[in-house]
Structure 1
Amino acid sequence: MAKQKVLSVAAAAMTCLMLSGQAMAHGDVTPQGVETGDLTKLGEEWLEENPYRGKDNENYAEAVRIGDSAYNQNCARCHGLEAISGGIAPDLRELTPDYDGDEWFVYRVRNGAVRDGAVYMPKMADYLSQEALWAIRTYIESRRDEM
């Protein structure tokens, strides 16, 4: 009888463990839409540099706020929570906050990443607006001090 109770408790514990792992999973890998609020609208043609960069920019605080949520919904599963890489994908905080970093960022969000036919990163610009993606870039830049 005691052996059955131990097995029942062990089975219940194992079930809880498996369910908690699912609850903590990042979920669907399809990019989630982003509401860009009052950010300045940028149009269809891609800009070459982050239009929300700099604490003195009128859009900066809103871009960081929106970018925080958007990043953690769409990018964190691979690039790490709070923009701190866990090693699966590059640490985006290492991108320089200048034209060169912006150029790499735009290239990657527009083209994605594919290796040996496997999609490692979708073409995020197919799912998210330019405003949302520049907000994500602004949020990532705001996290550079955490390196």
Structure 2
Amino acid sequence: MKINLSAKLALMGLALSFAAFPASRGFSHGDTAPQAVDTEGLDSLGEGDEWLTVNPYRIEEGEEPNAQQTRAIEVGTVGYSQNCARCHGLEGVSGGMAPDLRYLDADEWGDEWYLDRIRNGVTQNGGVKMPPFADILNQEAAWAIRTYLETRPQD
């Protein structure tokens, strides 16, 4: 079988693109190492192990966000992209690798579930499915990410 010159060039270009962007980078989102989030502009929610149990930035249905809630959404957008998108999907839309967090109830039960997992991580069958973020994210960053997710449409 004979391949013409343009087909050869196209195949070479495709091969080079795979070499330049290996699967580990080309098909994942976000950084692979958990990283701290800049929470400048958010009021302190407290220090140490005393965390709030309900999202302090939650925007009630039908209300406009105040300045802290707006800043929380901004911080949460960046924090989610840096730490969560790799597994949970870009803009909160999961591709099936991990739960779609947009569907987590925006209430005390959902906050409890979220807080447990973000602080302690998740292991299954002896393997780490999600790393713990308790030593990486302060509660302002964690609740800001939760607030961002609550603003994402579910459709």
TM-score per shorter chain, which class? Answer: 0.7 to 0.9
Residues 133 and 68 of structure 1, relative CA distance in 2, 3 Å threshold: same
Unpaired segments of 5 or more residues in structure 2? none
- Give 1:78 shift: 0.5
Match of 2:128, SS state, is: strand
1-structure distance, mates of 2:102, 2:30? 24
What TM-score do you get using the length of structure 2 for normalisation?
A: 0.82
In the alignment, structure 1 residue 30 sits paired with structure 2 residue 33: yes
Unpaired segments of 5 or more residues in structure 1? none
More helix by percentage: 1
Aligned-pair RMSD on alpha carbons? 2.3
Match of 1:42 among 40, 45, 50: 45
Q: Is the 8 A contact 1:51 1:134 kept in 2?
A: yes
Q: Is the 8 A contact 2:39 2:141 kept in 1?
A: yes
Match of 2:124 among 115, 135, 138: 115
2-structure distance, mates of 1:9, 1:127? 45
Q: Is the 8 A contact 2:30 2:85 kept in 1?
A: no
What TM-score do you get using the length of structure 1 for normalisation?
A: 0.86
The aligned residue for residue 70 of structure 2 is 61
- Give 1:29 shift: 1.8
Q: Is the 8 A contact 1:70 1:132 kept in 2?
A: yes
Q: How does 1:1-147 map to 2 (within 5 A)?
A: 10-20=11-21, 21=23, 22=25, 25-26=28-29, 28-43=31-46, 44=48, 45-54=50-59, 55-143=64-152, 145-147=153-155
Equivalent residues, number: 145
